[in-house]
Amino acid sequence: MDARNKLLDKARVACSASSDAALASRLTVSAQQVSRWRKGHDRMPNEQIARIARLAHLDAGEWVLLIEAEQNTGEAGKAYGSLVKRLGIAALLDLASVPGMASISHIPTGTAYYVNRLRRLARFLRVASLLPTDGAEHADMLALQG
């Protein structure tokens, strides 16, 4: 399933919409438009991505970046995809370098917010299948830190 469909599904759950038509009503677009987004026939505008993400109580910036990476072809798509991957690897490397990472209570109060944000970004990218999840590749990424 692509990111557009994942986002639309999360928004449906968050607003208790029983169908795409009910979700479309909440978004003030037609049911046909939601269907066209799902099938990839129309681009999902960034403003709509952000609006849907907010409706689903998700970080709009992460979803805009991910969906733009999927929607763009050619050099633009490669650039977005590269950025998504670099941000994910940077988040994992930063997380690995935080002392007491195993327990958030050991992290100074001022950095806890940022550590949680990085954790969310890394989890988001893994769910979106943009980061490896097996230990060997994770160890390779950590080796890049030194």
pLDDT digits (tens, 9 = 90+) for 84-128: 777 765 555 554 444 444 444 444 455 566 566 666 766 666 655
* Higher-confidence position of 136 and 25: 25
Minimal CA–CA distance to 64: which of 125, 114, 113, 3? 3
Contact 3, 63 (CB under 8 A): yes
Whether pTM exceeds 0.95: no
Report the b/e string of 105-128 with b at 16+ CB within 10 A. eebeeeeeeebeebeebbebbeeb
> CA 85 to CA 87: how far, in whole Å?
5
> CA 69 to CA 93: how far, in whole Å?
22
Q: CA 45: distance to chain centroid?
A: 16
Q: pLDDT per residue over 55-96, tens digit each?
A: 999 888 888 888 887 887 778 777 777 777 777 655 555 544
Of 19-23, 27-31, 35-39, 85-89, the range with the lowest mean pLDDT is: 85-89
Q: Describe the crossing of helices 3-14 and 31-39 by its angle, rounded to 10 degrees.
A: 140
Provide the 8-state DSSP code for 107.
Answer: S
